[in-house]
Amino acid sequence: MSILDKLKIKPMEWVEEKDGPRFRWLDTRLIPWEEVYRETKDYERVAQAIKDMEIRGAPAIGIAAAYGMALAAVYSNTNDVNVLLQRLERARNVLASTRPTAYNLFWALDRVMRKASQASSRGVDAVINSVVEEAKRIHEEDVKQNVEMGKLGAKLVEDGETILTHCNTGALATGGYGTALGVIRAAFEEGKNIKVIATETRPLLQGARLTVWELVKEGIPATLITDNMVGYVMYKGLVHKVFVGADRISSDGFVANKIGTYMIATMASKHRVPFYVVAPSSTFDLSIEGDNIPIEERSPDEVRTVLGKVAITVPSVNVLNPAFDITPPSLVTALVTEKGIITPPYKENIRRVIKEQ
């Protein structure tokens, strides 16, 4: 039995049908009110799902993009290997244009294209099979890596502690287990008596909608707070540790994550609360240093409304809506990866542990 078959929550899957394979995913925009699965045979539909945040979270975006490439290969409708490679490159470009910050996206696309190129001398069928198998492998590896990170990170959690987390870093943001929320899940599964404080995560409320939904499903005690309560709960001593995820980490430890993370890290430093970042090695971009990470700017209407449904301000007001911010390494206690826990100095230790992908 594959590790994917054992998942409690299946955010996405590759489905073999008589009329051909398709990619299926849980539309996270509708959680917690509805659990609706979408499916397609079209890689452009996968790209749209990533762009519209039906699929979100850096690891999940990477996996979905890999499956999008698999669809492009399967339904390429050509017997010419060069034409197939051209169509895969076109699909890669479409998928790469969806979300600029999540490094897993580009890592997964490059990995799939390398496999396609390596198989090209063996013909069209070999290329198609290699792309499909690589997409499945990326998915399985992600879950295995998440489980390993959970075990490593759980060692940092003591019985009786309250953990604060931001945005959603659980099954819905990954292949099916979780990064930062995976650590929390692992600690709970070990029998540790823990509690979780989840921030609502404006403007799209991933914490309130997704993280709380996952915690309730797992039976993990959870308390929801608004984003601007973080300083208060730390001042009151209600938080023992912070665990967050990441969308891209530079070679020297600058962390791009959901907007609001920098504020939380600053408060954690002020109140001497350990601040941990949990991310697989595929999230590390060793080609850049410092805060030179592209930050996605999203639609102003995400801020002018609540989930696009209820207007909360003057419709014409100017809006600043970066989806991510950057936390400097000086505020990060440690980085938890599947390859080990990385501590300062990050410039030396990240390359030593992660190495070139």
Burial of 17 (0-12, 13-18, 19+ CB in 10 A): exposed
Residues 110 and 204 in one domain: no
Residues 296 and 343 in one domain: yes
Question: Which of 146, 169, 204 represents a domain boundary (last residue)?
Answer: 146
Residues 182 and 198 in one domain: yes
Range of the domain at 177: 150-354
Q: Is the dihedral of CA 229, 232, 234, 238 positive or negative?
A: negative
Specify the length of the chain in residues: 357
Residues 158 and 131 in one domain: no
pLDDT in tens, 51-76: 999 999 999 999 999 999 999 999 99
Q: How far apart are CA 237 and CA 230, in angstroms?
A: 11
Q: How far apart are CA 281 and CA 354, in angstroms?
A: 6
We report the CATH number of the domain holding residue 76 as 1.20.120.420
Residues 266 and 167 in one domain: yes
pLDDT for the residue 357: 46
Residues 123 and 164 in one domain: no
The pTM (predicted TM-score) of the whole model is 0.96
Give the residue numbers annotated as catalytic, written as ranges. Answer: 247
pLDDT in tens, 245-286: 999 999 999 999 999 999 999 999 999 999 999 999 999 999
DSSP state string for 212-231:
HHHHHHHT--EEEE-GGGHH
Name the DSSP class of 178. B
Residues 279 and 195 in one domain: yes
Question: Which of 92, 121, 146 represents a domain boundary (last residue)?
Answer: 146
Residues 181 and 137 in one domain: no
Residues 72 and 158 in one domain: no
Tens-digit pLDDT profile for the chain (357 aa)?
789 988 989 999 999 999 999 999 999 999 999 999 999 999 999 999 999 999 999 999 999 999 999 999 999 999 999 999 999 999 999 999 999 999 999 999 999 999 999 999 999 999 999 999 999 999 999 999 999 999 999 999 999 999 999 999 999 999 999 999 999 999 999 999 999 999 999 999 999 999 999 999 999 999 999 999 999 999 999 999 999 999 999 999 999 999 999 999 999 999 999 999 999 999 999 999 999 999 999 999 999 999 999 999 999 999 999 999 999 999 999 999 999 999 999 999 999 999 754
We report the CATH number of the domain holding residue 240 as 3.40.50.10470
Residues 267 and 160 in one domain: yes
Question: Which of 146, 166, 187 represents a domain boundary (last residue)?
Answer: 146
Residues 203 and 311 in one domain: yes
Number of domains present in the structure of the chain: 2
Residues 114 and 165 in one domain: no
Q: How far apart are CA 124 and CA 114, in angstroms?
A: 15
